[in-house]
């Protein structure tokens, strides 16, 4: 005779099966549980098809095809009418002149669909590009440093988060947004001003109490090791090398304005202690 707990469990399962049968619910239905609703299925199916289709279009469509077919990559302006016109599948007059034969029409259909999916991807933040499938092998990496100039003549050079002090031993935990901002320092004026204002708010005075006067942004180029080189030995030696950088932009703390600098010769960038 089984223990009381086991016996009560058996009776409980039997009662559950009996109730399911009396209410018209099959035993298999109880085991499977509730499935995805049709709206959920359509939503998931759309994104799976979109991801697969964009992979095929990115790999198959060449970058020069939109220019060859005189097709706009985005709506001409941000109005609702321009967006509707952008999604009109009919080719424009300039594009129609480039369409001759079934091959050119197939190319037009592929490019039209890719550009529209790319536009939705940019709008929603889920873009796909060729570099995701075939990235170029980089030979160098540009980083940015800031030289802080104070009113008493003192200077301090600061590295960004993306440039570690020891290239053979570092990690970037919880720094994703900071790194994204630093990667845009060489591309946007807004990114440079934001970084300079942050430095001006955190590095207000020098060690002797002098106020911060100016921030100069430098670009420094790290050459990556060649194939076959001892990477650990290469980066270990690079840790001890004095880096040269080119000043490209400066920020005046008093006026809170920045401006590009006329290209000069590279200068030595010595780390802050």
pLDDT single digits (tens) 145-198:
899 999 998 888 888 888 888 888 888 787 777 777 787 787 778 788 888 998
Strand boundaries in the chain, DSSP class E: 140-150, 155-159, 212-223, 243-252, 257-260, 267-269
Q: Are residues 48 and 117 in the same domain?
A: yes
Answer yes or no: do 71 and 122 share one domain.
Answer: yes
The 3-state secondary structure of 54-80, one letter per residue? HHHHHHHCCCCHHHHCCCCCCCCCCCH
The answer to the question of residue 6 being in a domain is: no
Q: How many C-beta atoms lie closer than 10 Å to residue 241's C-beta? A: 8
Answer with the one of 132, 160, 182 that is the final residue of a domain.
132
pLDDT band at 25 (very low <50, low <70, confident <90, very high): very low
pLDDT tens readout for residues 93-131: 888 888 888 888 999 999 999 888 888 877 776 666 665
- Co-location of 128 and 147 in the same domain: no
Task: Please give the mean pLDDT across all residues of the chain.
Answer: 79
Average the pLDDT over each of 37-46, 86-95, 214-223, 240-249 and give the range with the smallest value.
240-249
**230: region left, alpha or beta (phi > 0 left; psi from -120 to 50 alpha):** beta
Q: Are residues 71 and 159 in the same domain?
A: no
Residues 6+ apart with CB under 8 A from 245: 145, 218, 219, 220, 266, 267, 269
Q: Does 152 reside within a domain?
A: yes
- Going by pLDDT thresholds of 50, 70 and 90, the confidence category of residue 31 is very low
pLDDT for the residue numbered 253 = 92
pLDDT at position 1: 47
Same-domain check for residues 216 and 182: yes
Last residue of a domain, one of 95, 116, 132: 132
Give the model's pLDDT for residue 136: 65
Number of domains in the chain: 2
Q: For residue 175, what are the contacts with CB-CB under 8 A and spacing of at least 6?
A: 161
55 vs 57: CA distance, rounded Å: 6
- Asked whether residue 110 falls in the same domain as residue 94, the answer is yes
Residues 145 and 244 occupy one common structural domain: yes
Residue 146 resides in a domain: yes
Tell me which of 98 and 12 has the higher pLDDT: 98
Return the pLDDT at 188.
Answer: 77
Distance (Å, whole) CA 258 – CA 251: 4
Domain identity same for 45 and 162: no
Q: Are residues 152 and 261 in the same domain?
A: yes
Residue 15, pLDDT above cutoff 60:
no
Residue 2's contacts (CB-CB under 8 Å, 6 or more residues apart) are 10
State the residue range of the domain holding 93: 39-132
* Same domain membership, residue 151 and residue 237: yes
Residues 67 and 144 grouped into a single domain: no
Residues 108 and 181 in one domain: no
Task: Look at residue 29 and tell me whether its pLDDT is greater than 50.
Answer: no
- What is the structure's pLDDT at 263? 66
């Amino acid at each position: 005779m089984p223990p009381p707990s086991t016996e009560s469990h058996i009776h409980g399962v039997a009662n559950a099966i009996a109730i399911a049968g009396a209410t018209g619910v099959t035993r298999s239905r109880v085991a499977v549980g509730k499935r995805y609703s049709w709206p959920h299925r359509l939503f998931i199916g759309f994104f799976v098809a979109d991801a697969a289709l964009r992979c095929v279009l990115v790999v198959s469509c060449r970058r020069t095809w939109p220019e060859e077919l005189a097709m706009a990559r985005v709506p001409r302006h941000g109005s609702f009418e321009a967006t509707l016109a952008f999604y009109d599948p009919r080719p424009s007059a300039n594009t129609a002149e480039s369409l001759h034969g079934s091959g050119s029409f197939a190319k037009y259909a592929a490019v039209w669909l890719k550009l529209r999916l790319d536009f939705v991807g940019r709008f929603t933040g889920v873009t796909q590009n060729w570099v995701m499938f075939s990235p170029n092998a980089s030979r160098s990496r540009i980083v940015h440093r800031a030289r802080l100039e104070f009113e008493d003549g003192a200077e301090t050079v600061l590295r960004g988060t993306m440039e570690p002090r020891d290239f053979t031993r570092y990690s970037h935990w919880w720094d994703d947004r900071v790194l994204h901002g630093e990667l845009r320092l060489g591309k946007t004026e807004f990114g440079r001003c934001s970084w300079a204002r942050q430095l001006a708010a955190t590095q207000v005075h020098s060690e002797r109490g002098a106020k911060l006067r100016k921030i100069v942004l430098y670009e420094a180029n790290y050459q990556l090791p060649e194939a076959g080189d001892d990477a650990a030995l290469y980066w270990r030696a690079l840790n001890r090398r004095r880096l040269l950088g080119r000043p490209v932009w400066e920020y005046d703390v008093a006026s809170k304005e920045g401006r590009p600098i006329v290209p000069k010769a590279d200068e030595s960038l010595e780390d802050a202690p």
